[in-house]
Amino acid sequence: MHHRYFFKHVDGPCWGPLERVAELTINSPDLPVIDPGHFMYMARLESPGQPDLNLYKHFYTRYYLNLDDAGHAYAFVGPGRRRKSAPPFSDAGLYQPLPDLLTALEHLDLGFLDENAWMTDHDRESLARLVARKQSETRTAAASVSRRRLTS
């Protein structure tokens, strides 16, 4: 089911949901890895009785990743209709929850099946460092658990 959303004034960007989703993509082999540095924060939306949405636009593909604060993804499904009593540009349109994060990431059309062809060499190096750091953290945590089991 879709809901009508409206633009909400914020003092600055809200990067938390995107950063948490990016971390999730590093830890989930079924998801394409995203880099928060490849997104622009575009807006925060609100709808009565619904979670606020954060709109992130990908620098390269220009597609949006719309996330609530818990990291659930939403799709834009139709334009807003301005009511006579509403200020101009207040209606952001209709949004509906997506069934899963993979659907939202696939919509970004990042070319992950084409070995990230859209990435520059700098982007590939940055992403490789990000993944390597996470893998190192995972190995360190696993080794710590193993040491605790051996000493118990």
pLDDT at res. 132? 74
Residue whose token pair is 């009565």: 48
pTM check: above 0.75: no
Higher-confidence residue: 137 or 21?
21
For tokens 């999730």, what's the residue?
A: 24
Distances, alpha carbon 98 to alpha carbons 7, 10, 47, 59, 88, in Å: 20, 25, 17, 22, 28
Question: What's residue 113's pLDDT?
Answer: 39
pLDDT per residue over 83-140, tens digit each?
A: 666 555 678 899 999 999 999 999 988 764 355 555 667 776 777 777 777 777 777 7
